[in-house]
Structure formats: structure tokens, C-alpha cells
Amino acid sequence: MTERPIIFSSPMVRAILSGAKTQTRRVLKPQPPAEIAGLNVPAMLRDADFRCPYGDPGDRLYVKEQHEFVLSGPYNVLHVLYKADMTERDMFDAPYTPKINRGRPSIHMPRWVARLTLEVLKVRVERVQEISLYDVQQEGINVGPLSLTGARYQYSLLWDSINAKRGYGWETNPWVHVVTFKRVT
């Protein structure tokens, strides 16, 4: 079993905490060649160039999220404040004393501060536009009475807000790793 980091935004952390999000899509890098038609895409996963950087079934992911270190309570105890839901956890076991009252981006979260661990259940490769209604729900989006078209549209807005500026917008229909996971308590 290998453990790797994965970054999630605050809304996605809240969806994981609520149990609504059990799947994530991440751009496959590098993208396969355009002449991929007819190739066995799942077999490509065995190629080192296309292996999922988030692991294989049984591996674990620790979630990196926005946070800051604060002193709180009557004795000014060191706490970590998780920005997604503004909860605090004491840091009695901190391996070092971090700088206080500085907001920190997700990428700088050390492993010992992470509160969420996910177990990878399944990994597959597909085009982002192949997402199903069920998968949209597993991505943490409340689709309500939406049709598949409406649900995909809602997901496309989220996808573009994260990936379009990096050249992997919905309309380019990039290949993605679909990682299904469960929260480990």
C-alpha cells in the first residue's frame, strides 16, 4: 500500500466530509496521441507514461486542503484551522512549531496535519465528457431532478473552473483518470 497526497478545494472537502463525494477526475498527463481510436485504453494504464499518479486500488490518498495554524483556547494551544468547514484540531503532537496565523494554500499542507485519508477503490481512464449521471453525483454534485444533459452541464462548469485555464477545458474533452475512493476513518 502506497500513500500519496491529493489536493481538493474547500467545496470538495466539504462534499467528502458529508459523504457526497466518492469520485474525482484528474487530467491524464501526458494526453494520449490523437490517433488513439481502436486502442485498448485500460491496457494503457500499465504503461508507465499513463499510470495514474494517484495510485491503484488499495492505495491511500491524504487530502491536502487550505488551512492555517492558530493559537486558541485559554492556554493558547496550537491548533490547525481547516478553512473548508472552519473546524480546529489541537496540534499537541506537532513535530515542529509552525508559523502562527498564516493562511496556507493546500499545496503546503504537511502530512501530519491532514485530517482526511481516502482509500482508492477503482481507477479507470475515460474522456471527461463520458461522465454518467451516477458519476456526476459521485463527484459531489447534487443533480436533483436534472437530466443527464443538465447534470453534465453542471459538472462542466465545475470542470472548467478548475481545468480550462490549464488548457484542459470541457470542450477539449481530455482523457482523465477516474478515481473512485472511500473515506478511511
Structural domains of the chain, with CATH:
3-63+116-184 (3.10.400.10), 66-107 (no CATH)
- Write the pLDDT tens digit of every residue in 70-126: 887 778 788 899 999 999 888 877 777 777 767 788 999 999 999 999 999 999 999
Q: Please tell me the predicted confidence (pLDDT) of residue 2.
A: 94
Digit-coded pLDDT (tens) for 6-18? 999 999 999 999 9
Give the predicted TM-score (pTM) of the model. Answer: 0.87
Q: Is 54 within 8 Å of 26 (Cβ atoms)? A: yes
Q: Which phi and psi (to 5°) does residue 66 adopt?
A: -65, 140
H-helix or E-strand spanning residue 95: none
Sign of the torsion angle spanned by Cα atoms 101, 74, 95, 62: negative
Per-residue pLDDT band at 40 (split at 50, 70, 90): low
More confident residue, 102 or 157: 157
116-152, pLDDT tens digit by residue?
999 999 999 999 999 999 999 999 998 888 788 889 9
